Amino acid sequence: MAFLKKLFALLFSKSSVTKSIDEVVAEKIETEKLETSLHDLRETPTPGATGKIRLGIIVGHTKAAPGAKMSSPLNISEYDYNTDVATLMADECARTSLIDSIIIYRDNIGIAGAYRKAEEYGCDAVIELHFNAYNRLVTGTETLCTANPQDSLFAEHCHAAMCKVFERGGNSRGVKKIARKENGGVNVHSFPSGVNCLVEPAFADNLGEANMLVELKERYASALVVAVIDWGFSVGLLRGRAS
Ligand SMILES: [Zn+2]
């Protein structure tokens, strides 16, 4: 419990967004070392721990049907924006050496095909990237996942990171545990072999929200990568990295 508390303190600390990924990782490893030194005599290694996370990054929608568009004059589609975010995330993953990432597009293979690809790649975790649109007035961040506790834990990590980057001042619209028949349900229920969530960082048909997504694109991508690392330490997937 103390270990989890430490991780959450790090995750929710005011300065975590402004820290580089390297700094955050160094802190995690220190925390992990401390915990390991306290418990190494009675803890058994996590089965399957590889010291590395395999992350699938699914770009929502397709080139032919690119999803919602940001407010004019930006007019950037979900597909185009999230192609950039996915690329930035993959670059960050490569830099940390803690995550092997794969960018997966739904073009020609659909939602089921995309998640099948994630499974074939052996992904531990998958994030599907979107943004919201409604009536140009609504604002906020929401994260969709199944009611599975492992999925929810992963979603909470991603959601908290987004709320911090976009300065939502709290939990914003929250993590939504949805049924398969709900909007986005097919997506989040398509990856039983690992954890996954679908992120809706903002309502980009609102110009203020769209500007925020564009201005904070790099920080947003980094924050999701840090969230995945955070999650990896919390579930023991990166345990090998501290020894
Ligand atoms: Zn979408």
Q: How far is the CA of 197 from the centre of ligand 1 (A)?
A: 13
pLDDT at 34 over 80: no
CA of 177 to the centre of ligand 1 (A): 17
Q: Is the pLDDT of residue 45 over 90?
A: no
58: helix, strand or coil: strand
Mean pLDDT for the chain?
A: 87
The CA 186 to ligand 1 mean position distance, Å, reads 13
Q: Each residue of 81-113: b (16+ CB within 10 Å) or e?
A: bbbbbbebbbebbeebebbbbbbbbbeeeebee
Averaged pLDDT, 159-172:
96
Q: Positive or negative CA dihedral for 154, 185, 188, 102?
A: negative
Q: How far away, in angstroms, is 129 Cα from ligand 1 center?
A: 8
- Distance (angstroms) between ligand 1 centre and the Cα of 66 equals 8
> How far does residue 38's CA lie from ligand 1's centre (Å)?
45
What does the chain come to in residues?
A: 243
What mean pLDDT do residues 76-96 have? 97
Expressed in angstroms and rounded, the spacing between residue 95 Cα and the centre of ligand 1 is: 28
CATH code assigned to 51-234: 3.40.630.40
**How far is the centre of ligand 1, averaged over its atoms, from the C-alpha of 64 (Å)?**
13
CA of 121 to the centre of ligand 1 (A): 23
Q: Ligand 1 centroid to 111 CA: how many Å? A: 12
Residue 238: per-residue pLDDT: 87
First to last CA, the chain: 20
Residue boundaries of the structural domains of the chain: 51-234
pLDDT in tens, 94-123: 999 899 999 999 999 999 999 999 999 999
In tens, the pLDDT along 48-57 reads 455 799 999 9
Determine the distance separating the centroid of ligand 1 and the alpha carbon of 204, expressed in angstroms: 11
Contact 125/56 with Cβ under 8 angstroms? yes
How does pLDDT run across 176-211, given as a tens digit for each residue? 999 999 999 999 999 999 999 999 999 999 999 999
How far is ligand 1, taken at its centre, from the CA of residue 132, in Å? 6
